[in-house]
Amino acid sequence: MSDDAAPWLIVGLGNPGAEYAGNRHNIGFMAVDLLAERMRGKFKAHKARAQVVEGRMGPPGPANRRVVLAKPMSFMNLSGGPVTALRDFYKVPVDRIVAVHDELDIDYPTLRLKLGGGDNGHNGLKSMTKSMGPEYHRVRCGIGRPPGRMQVADFVLKDFSSTERKELDWFVDRAADAVECLIAEGLERAQSAYNS
């Protein structure tokens, strides 16, 4: 079981650079950006090739947790390197790591939370799992499957459509809420509140 003094490491998965900012693949970045805003924190460069915000999350009292929000500054398929370096730097047990990421096999805008499991072809998860095993939490943000014959890579590297953007703020807000609930109240409570 986790050491109570250890922080939680919340990793938004995405690609760095302005040209990727609105992509479906970057919904993890969007969620941790919102969490940083809620914590009134500013991302700073970390030697682990990541941007980080350190702070506290949750209500006052025992459910208030020390957290590190992170955005790996490697590309998506190399996320495992920065995440492992942050894990080692902050001494975070793997079961206190949360990856927030896009998920093709879940319809937009649906959330699912789980602990462990496969990578489902997601290159960011594949890289993380290769570096430290699969036993970390996932907040899976459904983006659905590409229409027609569009390639998956093209679909995830496109911005959300104008129709999807109508719900995007709500969806990112809900993903951030789910992370806060997971950390303050545990996985089962967060699953019953947010898995749809």
Give yes or no: 137 in active site.
no
9, 113, 131 from 195: Cα distances, Å: 21, 6, 27
Q: Render each residue's pLDDT in the chain as its tens digit; 196 residues.
A: 456 789 999 999 999 999 999 999 999 999 999 999 999 999 999 999 999 999 999 888 887 899 999 999 999 999 999 999 999 999 999 999 999 999 999 999 999 999 999 999 999 999 999 999 999 999 999 999 999 999 999 999 999 999 999 999 999 999 999 999 999 999 999 999 999 7
Give me the pLDDT at residue 41, please.
97
Give me the pLDDT at residue 21, please.
97
- Please, are residues 79 and 128 in contact by the beta-carbon 8 Å criterion? yes
- Please, are residues 106 and 194 in contact by the beta-carbon 8 Å criterion? no
Question: Quick one: tokens of 184?
Answer: 């303050």
Residue type, 134: P
Residues in a beta bridge with 159: 23
What's the rounded Cα separation, in Å, for the pair 159 and 152?
13
Give me the pLDDT at residue 63, please.
79
Q: Which helix (H) or strand (E) holds 57?
A: strand 50-57
What's the rounded Cα separation, in Å, for the pair 87 and 85?
5
Question: Quick one: tokens of 33?
Answer: 């950006």
Q: Which helix (H) or strand (E) holds 189?
A: helix 187-194
Give me the pLDDT at residue 3, please.
61
Of residues 25, 46, 101, 137, which has the active-site annotation? 25
Exposure string of 150-168, with b = 16+ CB inside 10 Å and e = fewer, is eeeeebbbeebeeeeeeeb
- Please, are residues 29 and 76 in contact by the beta-carbon 8 Å criterion? no
